[in-house]
Structure 1
Amino acid sequence: MCASRIDEYGLLADGRSGALVSRDGSVDWWCPARFDGPSVFARLLDNDTGGHWYIRPAGDFDVERRYLDETLVLRTVFTTGDGSVAVTDGLALDAEARGHDVGRYPPGLLLREVQGLSGSVPMVMSYAPRFEYGRVRAHLLRHGETILARATGTTLGMTASVQVECRDVDASATFTVEAGQRETFSLSYSPTYHQPEPVAADVSAALADTVEAWHSWTGQHAYPGLYGSLVRHSAMVLQGLTYQLSGAVVAAATTSVPVTPEGGQSYDYRYVWLRDFNLTLRALSIAACPNEAARLFQWMAEAIGVVGLEPIPIMVGVEGERDLSERRIDVLDGYVEAGPVLLGNDAWTQQQHDILGQIVDAAWLLRKSLDPMPDDVRRLLRDITEQAAQTWREPDAGVWEIRERVRHNLTSKVSCWLALDRAVRFGSVLGGPAELRRWAAIRDEIRTAVLRQGWNDRVGAYTGAFDSDQLDASVLSLPLIGFIPADDPRMLATVERIERELTVDGLVRRWPGEPAGFVICSFWLSQCHALAGNLDRAVDLFEGIVSRTNDLGLFAEQIDPGTGRQVGNFPQAFSHIGLISAAWRLTTAQVETYSPNRGATS
């Protein structure tokens, strides 16, 4: 069978890594050491070479699935002509971890439990680990109750309650499940040279502990606004995309899933973009996760270090690594055979001014927890403010990381304005009177330049760059950060033009000709309408977008308006951040006074 469409996967997470499980019960992606570590299953990127582990009925079946309430533990119900079975999958969390410690020290266990619900259902299991993105196959060896596979410094230990047949590098099983019967499977990961031999897990107990650990985390967060269940779920997705040892949130769990059928535009998203940093903090704060927000800010400050006037890295690894040099993996054909498969991301070498304002604005958001402000944070924010003051006139790669050229991107200029504006608001905490006057003067100079050179009379809108005639959905962010009122006539004209020329069925393309809608841009459009007082339109857009998640409430980066399919790396933190922010914007705009029956807060 072929690997599934990207939007047919579910996410499992343990605070260190993420696994993707298809609707037909196949684990097709898992990099157990950490999000950006080497894979042991990568069928997502190559049907034959990548490796997989599936458990499913032997015959035809229908599928229904859901996450167990407020967890990332997945329950898939297969219904066949012979009966029905449920397969429950989870990445184990530490049995002792509770609350904010959830995911800090995961045991490295992939858990699978098969439960007979009715009738008598023949089942099949296929286990084919492949190490280092399919480069290495390991011999499977029995060690007591465990089937071991060792290669490239990694040990996997698979246990099963059914009889398993080993065939050198693969293993399989056939078994029948009666109503009320349970069969269990586990797969342990450990670095070969640092851990003891893996032992068989009590799968049912470990799953129960994992559910309890998730509940202990969600129980600490009480979001008060509209669309509560959607916001809590998206916050949990962000938690699932968090490398808990550092607090870093990766952009997505995957690499090299293209946004077009022919491939080419596919990158490794298993890193941390500092441009997303402020939005992530705001989303976590909105979702009532203040401890996670504060920890993420602390990690960011440590990862950046002392910068002076050197360019700040636009992205880092989950433990703060700087060098993310890109390389191809030619042994894998790529998602739907549309390569290339890339590890690393050369965007780390780009200069993007938009990150400057995001960091200072994040500090402003957390100013109460930064009072008194630590000296290292003060130095960092001063350096960033100075960098914005001195570099705002320079072109850059911009928020969309265009690799072919640099230009005077509008949102990059506005982000420099944002850095200076928030620094001025901090007042004497950051600078003396002369510095504050100079920062305020440069801030006002940037604003004047953006309003003059960013507006295009011929287009009748703010465009993506100075003196450009190309629409760009990134300018929808201008009212969201307070640069310009959403009901300003020119901003209203810009929104109207973007809706008319870049939007199809509520999905907003970033620029003319882009084939798919960019999910967070669609949420930005909803927020612009809410801020402008067009609340019914804002709600309609929001509810139309959230109806396009997959059956598990997960978003990729983009959605094809023609097919409705999601495309790009998955699940995408940026998209879920957009959902949380838009839900809160609708809440603060008091949408319920216009539509009292909309947006359940359960």
Structure 2
Amino acid sequence: MSYTPLEDYGIIGNQETVALVGRDGAIDWCCLPSIDSPSVFAAILDDQRGGRFTVQPTASFESLQEYVDRTNVLKTRFRTASGRATVTDFMPVPPLARDCQTPMETVFRRLTCERGQVELRVDFAPRFEYARTMPTVEPTKDGVVTQGANEQMFLSSSIPLSVSTHSAGTTTTLEEGDTHWLVLGYGHESTLESDYYREILDDVVDYWRDWVHTCPDTGACPVGGPWHRTVVRSALVLKLLINHETGAICAAPTMSLPEDIGGVRNWDYRYNWIRDSAFTVRALTELGHSAEARDYFNLCLDHCSRGPPSDINPIYGVHGNPVPDERTLDHLSGYRGSAPVRVGNAATDQHQVDVYGELIHGIYETTRYGATIEEDDWTAMCDLIDYMCEAWEEPDAGIWEMRTDCQQFVYSKVMCWVALDRGLRIVAETGFDAPTERWEACRREIKETVLEKGYSEMADSFVSTFGDDDRLDATSLLIPLVGFLPADDSRVQSTIDATLDRLLVDDGLVMRYEGDDGLPGEEGAFLLCSFWLVSALAQSGRVDEAEAIFEDARQHASPLGLLSEEVDPEEGLQLGNVPQAFSHLGLINGALALSDGPDIGHPPDEADVNPSAETDVAKNLQCSATPDYTTQSRSESENQ
């Protein structure tokens, strides 16, 4: 079999794990019981030995995927010469799993024939422990059980299955109106009850529709207009990536999908990066999902109290556990031959001083939406902020997690400034004790140093590291967005212009940076950077330019509205782990920036803090109307 293009996958999940379902009807990636557990299907990383769970017609077919309106319930529709059939895939969500007898670690696949007659092939071939274990498969009363590596899965089926040593399958002919169920349970067996399964499906659909952002008829929606549908889908993607117990957002549900086809830029992203915090809070709260934003707020506070500030890692597991040591899985060939396949992430041991600013900024942003910092929490935060007075001068690996020697990254210094700046604002608004004179002096010193060493007259732009004469970095676009300089500052505007001239490539795509990063090969354009550019332009009042880039960038979403980490600028193909939380967060915040225009909310200059004005920004939008948000096929969505 050949590898499925990344844009031809949909996702389903239960807020604990995610499965990738191809447009060909194959589940090619799934980790159970959690998103960072070893895989049970990994054909996306090795189409020969990785393992998959396929349901598809035996004859030639055309197919498309769509989500049930305003949900994460996925339909794969097949059309053959003889008829039409649909596979509906979903997993139970936490509230329903608690209220019924179906555990969360369950994948439902409903097979339905809508017209004519369709012969379907079922092929169940799990492979445990990243395909290192070839499990046994044996028949049961209602299906099969597969065992190996101290793991056990049951597949209950209303269709009789034939069993071989390591797989099970069958072919079956569906007539118009026929429905069958395949129910995969990790560690448990499901009794075949079709009526009960239909009730679960209805409840899952209701859950997503109750959760999803809707907006009133009054025109008060923060993302009303042509991008509404796209933003809603991005929020639904994010919800699948948010762990229901901890509130941590997983950067992506996949690992080792390449940034360079055939190359070595293959990383495991199934973890929570602290730096997502500030981007997450605004995106969720503006869309009315205040509970998720508060959960993330509490997670940020927990990070502050993990121990000495110097011990904070940039990455954690979604349950707060340490990220595993990075290692390679040499028995897997990699997506389209892109090896090595890596599991774990060595970046967890890197020194990244920017994460302190992002952590404090995330907490501060949540207070602007009504959250309260307790005095005990402030003690830990105060220690962390004060640590910036010592650590800001240290070289680090930076936001892009360079695997070269540590450097003096401009963005890292800006975020150290942000940590001190937001700390001072919190003190001004709460009256908490803090060494404010020390912080003010350090904040001023950082700013003066960045303006002196981080801006290049030669490039007429902020640059990547201190001392660079001409190396651009898209992180400079965040300088106005975090309030380091106002958007109308000439240095901000010249940096935006330099980015447009040198980092922007065709179709709204923006490269991360210029220069060597210590790794062989080339990467694609980074979608998050496109949305940073949109936000910077919008905040500058250059709304027409921002809208044009936003429109171009969002066209790189899959037919289902899913965004990868990167895009190949030449071929337009998605690259990297997918779907990427950072990309979807960027899209939402870009749309919010376009809706707000130059008045986008950001902290005032440090010399003019007005706590009461900050408090006025707080809002928790609750919307009521229910417009149609169905994710459609490519041909339909491109015409909207």
TM-score, reference length from structure 1 = 0.93
2:258 match: 258
Does the aligned pair in 1 maintain the 2:300–2:362 contact within 8 Å?
no
Cα separation, 1, equivalents of 2:598 and 2:354:
31
- 2:108 maps to 111
Q: Give the deviation of 1:368 after TM superposition.
A: 5.7
Aligned partners of 1:146 and 1:200 also within 8 Å: no
Query: 1:152 offset after TM fit, Å?
Result: 2.0
Q: How does 1:6-405 map to 2 (within 5 A)?
A: 6-94=6-94, 96=96, 107-190=104-187, 197-200=189-192, 202=194, 203-218=197-212, 224-226=222-224, 227-367=227-367, 373-405=373-405
Residue 601 (structure 1) shift: 10
Task: Please tell me whether the aligned partners of residues 102 and 213 of structure 1 are also in contact (alpha carbons under 8 angstroms).
Answer: no
Query: Is contact 2:142–2:158 with CA below 8 Å preserved after alignment?
Result: no
**In the TM superposition, what is the alpha-carbon distance from 1:198 to its structure 2 partner?**
4.4
**1:431 to partner: Cα distance:** 7.2
Identical aligned pairs, as a percentage? 34
- Residue equivalent to 1:594: none
Query: What is the identity, as a one-letter code, of the residue corresponding to 1:86?
Result: T
CA distance in 2, matches of 1:320, 1:243: 11
Show CA shifts across 1:515-552 (max 9, x none).
41100100011111111111111111111111110000
Q: Secondary structure at the match of 1:180?
A: coil
Map of 2:617 onto structure 1: none
Whether contact under 8 Å (1:2, 1:47) holds in the other structure is: yes
Assess, with a 3 A threshold, how the Cα gap between structure 1 residues 561 and 106 changes in structure 2: closer, same or farther. farther
Q: Is the 8 A contact 1:3 1:28 kept in 2?
A: no
1:581 aligns with 2:606: no
1:102 Cα deviation from its structure 2 partner: 11
Counterpart amino acid of 1:152?
A
By how many angstroms is 1:493 displaced?
A: 1.3
Gaps of 5+ in 1: 191-195, 592-599
Please, which of 508, 511, 514 is the counterpart of residue 512 of structure 1? 514
Using the alignment, how far apart are the partners of 2:379 and 2:215 within structure 1?
Answer: 32
Matching residue's letter, 2:471: Q
Offset of residue 197 of structure 1: 4.7
Q: Secondary structure at the match of 1:20?
A: strand
**Residues 159 and 200 in structure 1, CA contact (< 8 A), matched pair in contact too:** yes
| Structure 1 residues 371 and 319: alpha-carbon distance in aligned structure 2, compared to 1, 3 A threshold | closer
Once the two structures are superposed, residues 57-110 of structure 1 have per-residue CA deviations (whole angstroms, 9 ceiling, x without a partner) of: 11111112211111111111111111111111112225736xxx999x952111
Structure 1 residues 309 and 338, CA, compared in 2 at 3 Å: closer, same or farther?
A: closer
How far apart, in 2, do the equivalents of 1:492 and 1:434 lie?
A: 35
Q: Which amino acid counterpart does residue 222 of structure 2 have in structure 1? A: P
3-state secondary structure, aligned to 1:50: coil
Shift of 1:346: 0.6
Note closer, same or farther for the CA distance 1:41–1:371 as it changes in structure 2 (3 Å cut): closer
Residue 193 of structure 1 corresponds to none
TM-aligned CA distance change 1:237 to 1:535, over 3 Å: same
2:310 aligned counterpart, secondary structure: coil
Residue range with higher mean Cα deviation, 409-418 or 383-392: 383-392
Structure-2 separation of matches of 1:371 and 1:91:
32
Q: How many residues in Structure 1 have an aligned counterpart in Structure 2? A: 585
Offset at residue 324 of structure 1 (A): 2.4
* Structure 2 CA distance for partners of 1:66 and 1:356, relative to 1, 3 Å: same
| 2:156/2:190 contact within 8 Å kept | no
CA contact (8 A) 1:146 1:199 kept: no
The structure-2 alpha-carbon separation of the partners of 1:54 and 1:371, relative to structure 1 and needing over 3 Å to count, comes to: closer
Structure 1 contact 478–484 (Cα < 8 Å) conserved: yes
SS at the partner of 1:352? Answer: coil
Kept in 1: contact 2:301–2:363 (CA 8 A): no
Taking a change above 3 Å as real, the CA distance of residues 601 and 418 of structure 1, as seen in their structure-2 partners, is farther
- Is the CA contact (8 Å cut-off) linking 1:225 and 1:587 kept in structure 2? yes
CA contact (8 A) 1:15 1:102 kept: no
Is the CA contact (8 Å cut-off) linking 2:94 and 2:244 kept in structure 1?
no
1:509 Cα deviation (Å)? 0.2
Gap change, CA 1:213 and 1:102, over 3 Å in 2 = farther
The alignment's C-alpha RMSD in Å is 2.2
Superposed displacement of residue 263, structure 1: 2.1
Q: 2-side partners of 1:234 and 1:359: how far apart?
A: 23
Q: In structure 1, what is the Cα distance between the partners aligned to 2:145 and 2:338?
A: 33
TM-superposition CA deviations, 1:552-594 (whole Å, max 9, x none): 0000100111101010001000000001101111111189xxx
Q: Which moved more, 1:573-582 or 1:62-71?
A: 62-71
Q: Write out aligned runs for 1:461-472 (5 A).
A: 461-468=461-468, 469-472=470-473
1:414-468 Cα deviation digits (max 9, x unpaired): 0000011111111257777771122111111111111111111122211011111
TM-aligned CA deviation for residue 41 of structure 1: 0.3
- AA aligned opposite 1:224: P
Structure 1 CA distance, aligned partners of 2:418 and 2:551? 30
CA contact (8 A) 2:135 2:147 kept: yes
Work out the CA distance in 1 between the residues paired with 2:465 and 2:556: 31
Deviates further, 310-319 or 296-305: 296-305
Q: Which of residues 555, 559, 569 is equivalent to 2:567?
A: 559
Which secondary structure does the structure 1 equivalent of 2:367 belong to?
coil
Deviations 1:333-354 (A, max 9, x none): 1111211111110100001111
Q: Deviations over 1:343-376 (max 9, x none)?
A: 1101000011111111111121122677653233
* Contact 1:7-1:567 at 8 Å conserved across structures: no
Q: How does 1:433-444 map to 2 (within 5 A)?
A: 435-444=435-444
Alpha-carbon distance change, 432 to 37 in structure 1, aligned in 2, over 3 angstroms: closer
Q: List runs of 5+ in structure 2 lacking aligned partners.
A: 516-521, 600-626, 630-640
Conservation of the 8 A alpha-carbon contact between 1:93 and 1:106: no
Cα shift at 1:24: 0.3
Report the AA paired with residue 239 of structure 2. Answer: Q
AA at the equivalent of 2:55: I
Tell me: CA distance 1:112–1:408, structure 2 relative to 1, closer, same or farther (3 Å): same
Distance 1:201 1:316, change over 3 A: farther
**Within-5 A mapping of 1:403-442:** 403-427=403-427, 435-442=435-442
8 A contact 2:55–2:123 mirrored in 1 = yes
Aligned partners of 2:304 and 2:381 also within 8 Å: no
